[in-house]
Amino acid sequence: MTRNLDIEGTRLTELARRASMSKQAMGELVDQCTGLGLIERVPDPSDGRARIIMFTPAGLTWLNAFREAVDAAEREMRAELGGSTMDVILKGLRAYGARFDTLEDKS
């Protein structure tokens, strides 16, 4: 779920669409992550009737720790396997991930 959640928050229906899940299934996942203190539902400032899902401060801390762990693993693999091998692995992972990425390119 966290890969589909924008830092500025995302509506539940959009999270479900990005993850190719039903709204009900995403709602259950949001409830679980809310229970863990990683995310929260807050009023949508653009529509008072709607709610958006946002990371809590603890969730942002978790997200940063996850990114740091991935970066450390990549550095370790690059040191062990060499730059050219790691470049090929990353290229393959990007191609594989692109098949499932439902997010629009935001760059």
Give the tens place of pLDDT for each residue, 95-105. 988 887 665 54
105, part of any domain: no
CATH number at residue 66: 1.10.10.10
pTM of the model: 0.76
Give the tens place of pLDDT for each residue, 4-38. 999 999 999 999 999 889 999 999 999 999 999 99
84, part of any domain: yes
54, part of any domain: yes
Residue 106, pLDDT > 90, answer: no
Q: How many domains does the chain have?
A: 1
Q: How confident is the model at residue 107 (pLDDT cuts 50, 70, 90)?
A: very low
Q: Which of 60, 59, 39, 37 is nearest to 51 (CA)?
A: 39
Q: Which of 5, 4, 104, 106 is nearest to 54 (CA)?
A: 5
The answer to whether 12 and 34 have CB atoms below 8 angstroms apart is: no
Residue 78 structural domain? 2-98
